[in-house]
Structure 1
């Protein structure tokens, strides 16, 4: 087992724990006696009657996210990012890249943004304000980190498109998958796999 793979596994475990800590504490205080933690954050199966509708929506949003990923990767192609460690490594980086894409970034972020923030805010203010808020925060966090090197215009483009995808993922989870975060996890992971492959084979 390569050092990179081991590091990605350890890093993924730490990320999942870190991003789940506040939701777990909140659940322990407010909902422990009502439902399990996994159901509370949306780590649950998609109900049978919703599977076909969810699959169609997942495909459409996944294609949109891949387009956004391509635009983002192009805008930041000369900047070091999380996938830069896979640059030019080819197929040898496949397993570490998959661990990174599925468990190191997409799962922790889905737990925090769509599993925790969206659901908890929706309980207080309703679905639409909650989805707007979580998507704005998601977009800002993914764009502002590049402000110093990209400038205002490119940063705003990244924030806008990333936020729109976050809104779409919140929509499919809550309106098409009965609150499950599995659709957004799949879409998010697919986008990160795409970004990793671009780096692995130096496609841009």
Structure 2
């Protein structure tokens, strides 16, 4: 809610109306085939992300801690409730809210002001840095933190590229890519590699 509230209240303050907010953040139909590109990017991201989290010492422990999405899924065990929770967390709580804030709000504003290269890079770096929040209250190595930040930043950059260069400014492709990557990663780490 917070990630969506920030751009919404900014929009209200600037335009003094709520009408048009969805288009403002890019919740509109993308160009044809962009969703296919998003699916292919997601599948290309899953293996490196899982490899990083599985093989980098300590990374899996950090992202599977008790106060994380994966930790919560593990606590439920493989069940219908856990699958529903996985879908809700992957598709709405993390992906949709982050895409509205980072690609629908920040990327669009930064790209408009700084140009595509600088604006997209800056929003991607901010997106990567936000992923340091998963480390709060946990022991971790600099290598683990750097790996998580860099992979998240790379994903943020690809999402910005996908939306702004291929998707007609729509955030639906990046939402799909982000949600699909998260759902597969959460599911594998919570249930298959426990």
TM over 0.5: yes
The separation in 2 between residues aligned to 1:99 and 1:131, in whole angstroms, is: 27
Unaligned regions of 5+ residues in structure 2, if any?
Answer: none
Distance 1:171 1:19 in 2: 21
In structure 2, the CA distance between the partners of 1:144 and 1:25, relative to structure 1 (3 Å rule), is closer
- Structure 1 residue 177 and structure 2 residue 160: aligned? no
Q: Quick one: which of 63, 73, 79 aligns to 1:91?
A: 79
Structure 1 unaligned spans of 5+? 1-16
Match of 1:62 in 2: 42
Alpha carbons of 1:25 and 1:129: their partners in 2 closer, same or farther (altered >3 Å)?
A: same
RMSD (CA atoms):
2.2
Runs of 4+ with >4 A deviation: 32-35
SS of the counterpart of 1:149? coil
Q: Secondary structure at the match of 1:22?
A: helix
C-alpha spacing 1:64/1:177, structure 2 compared with 1 (3 Å)? same
Change (3 A) 1:106 1:39: same
Aligned to 2:4: 20
Q: How does 1:142-157 map to 2 (within 5 A)?
A: 142-143=131-132, 145-146=134-135, 149-157=139-147
**Displacement of 1:127:** 1.6
TM-score normalised per structure 1: 0.81
Q: 2:186 aligns with which of 160, 179, 196?
A: 196
Question: Is 157-166 or 73-82 further displaced after alignment?
Answer: 73-82
